[in-house]
């Protein structure tokens, strides 16, 4: 039954880069795709209608945060995440693993699961693979994630142990899954260690998940190490299944990921930068608080077609920032998200047009030699 709801088809390939279509119960997703993060069933400062206008196809919500507040039962009572947040497109929920393991001294890991203190009120909870799946089934996302352990990437001993747990927990997640209208993705771990990554990719692939995520990257390792791991796991992942690189969202990383066969990306970066007065462009990052923008009549990016760049100047945006107006975060977030969504659309088109290498070389050269236009 799962295949009736969820299918992936590659339309075109250039080297490892590929353009595809991901079929979900809430619409077909053209890949490669960037997924904005709506941690608490909302993409910060941006409405669902604005997301739709930007061209967002799928967004991500956070199991850990929604479990603590408002609770998975309440979301289910309200009809699931789609109805609760009034989002018509597809949704992916993470398992909460990264957030739980980020709690440091507030959590304790065993083979059974993770016991942790809520960052909200100090209450004690336990996540097991079975509970992580149960919560995500109540939330009702189209794509759900297996519960994994995400250790610091450079400690081999910790990664060896985490790999064993991640593999055991993946099997338990598969057994716990009951909904046929959700696709459960497996997650590959192994830190920066090639042999562990190969072992994990081979094992998780053997479980025949409908899609595969690469976790434990962009968490402290170097860019070179991240790209080496992406090059490696490409050889051990099924070519006919979608691949998801978790937590990556700079234009450079998206381009390099697509070059290495990645289909899906997510990151909080676009809205986080916006809340810190920074605009993301394909010509470099712009700090809109800088005084040089106070009298600038130009938009953030003269080449950008987003709502913000079509209607407002840098001078106005800086005024909003200095006046501490909430609209600043909204307008900059719209631009930042649009930039990444449009980048993915153009990368896909360049694959279809057979000029991917030429296009990405040009983009990366602009990003390595930034200008403020």
From the list 94, 253, 263, 301, the catalytic residue is 94
DSSP letter (8 states) at residue 300: S
Number of neighbours of residue 74 by Cβ within 10 angstroms: 12
Question: Taking each helix axis from N to C terminus, what angle separates 251-259 and 223-234, rounded to the nearest 10 degrees?
Answer: 30
Q: Write out the H or E segment, with its range, that includes residue 347.
A: helix 327-352
Burial class (CB in 10 A: 0-12, 13-18, 19+), 157: exposed
The DSSP 8-state label assigned to residue 282 in this structure reads B
> Catalytic site residue 266?
yes
Q: Which residues are within 8 A (CB) of 158 and not within 5 positions of it... i.e. 6 or more apart?
A: 151, 152, 191
How many Cβ atoms sit within 10 Å of the Cβ of residue 7?
15
| 119 Cβ contact partners less than 8 Å away, ≥ 6 residues apart | 68, 103, 106
3-state secondary structure of 219: coil
| Residue 238: strand, helix, or coil | coil
Catalytic residue among 148, 253, 266, 301: 266
DSSP 264: E
The residues that are catalytic are: 94, 266
């Amino acid at each position: 039954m799962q295949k009736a709801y969820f299918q992936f088809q590659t339309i075109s390939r250039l080297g490892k880069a590929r353009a595809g279509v991901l079929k979900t119960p809430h619409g077909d997703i053209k890949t490669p795709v960037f997924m904005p993060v709506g941690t608490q069933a909302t993409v910060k400062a941006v409405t669902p209608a604005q997301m739709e206008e930007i061209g967002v196809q799928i967004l991500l919500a956070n199991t850990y945060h929604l479990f603590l507040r408002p609770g998975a039962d309440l979301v289910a009572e309200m009809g699931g995440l789609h109805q609760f947040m009034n989002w018509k497109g597809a949704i992916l929920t993470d398992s909460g693993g990264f957030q739980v393991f980020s709690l440091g001294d507030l959590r304790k890991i065993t083979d059974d699961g993770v016991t942790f203190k809520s960052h909200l009120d100090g209450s004690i909870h336990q996540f097991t693979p079975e509970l992580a799946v149960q919560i995500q089934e109540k939330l009702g996302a189209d794509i759900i994630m297996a519960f994994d352990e995400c250790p610091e990437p450079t400690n081999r001993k910790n990664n060896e142990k985490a790999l064993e747990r991640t593999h055991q927990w993946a099997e338990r997640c598969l057994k716990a899954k009951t909904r046929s209208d959700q696709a459960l993705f497996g997650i590959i771990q192994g830190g920066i260690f090639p042999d562990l990554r190969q072992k994990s990719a081979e094992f998780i692939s053997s479980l025949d998940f409908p899609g595969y995520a690469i976790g434990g990257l962009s968490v402290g390792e170097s860019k070179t190490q991240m790209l080496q791991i992406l090059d490696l796991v490409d050889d051990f992942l099924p070519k006919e299944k979608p691949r998801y690189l978790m937590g990556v969202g700079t234009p450079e990383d998206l381009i390099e990921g697509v070059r290495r066969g990645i289909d899906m990306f997510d990151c909080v970066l676009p809205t986080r930068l916006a809340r810190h007065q920074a605009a993301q462009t394909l010509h470099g990052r712009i700090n809109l608080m800088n005084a040089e923008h106070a009298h600038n009549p130009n938009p953030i990016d003269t080449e950008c077609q987003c709502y913000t760049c079509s209607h407002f100047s840098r001078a106005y945006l800086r005024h909003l920032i200095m006046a501490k107006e909430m609209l600043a975060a909204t307008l900059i977030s719209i631009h930042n998200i649009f930039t990444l969504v449009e980048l993915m659309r153009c990368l896909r088109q360049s694959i279809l047009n057979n000029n991917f290498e030429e296009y990405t070389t040009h983009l990366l050269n602009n990003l390595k030699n930034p200008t403020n236009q």
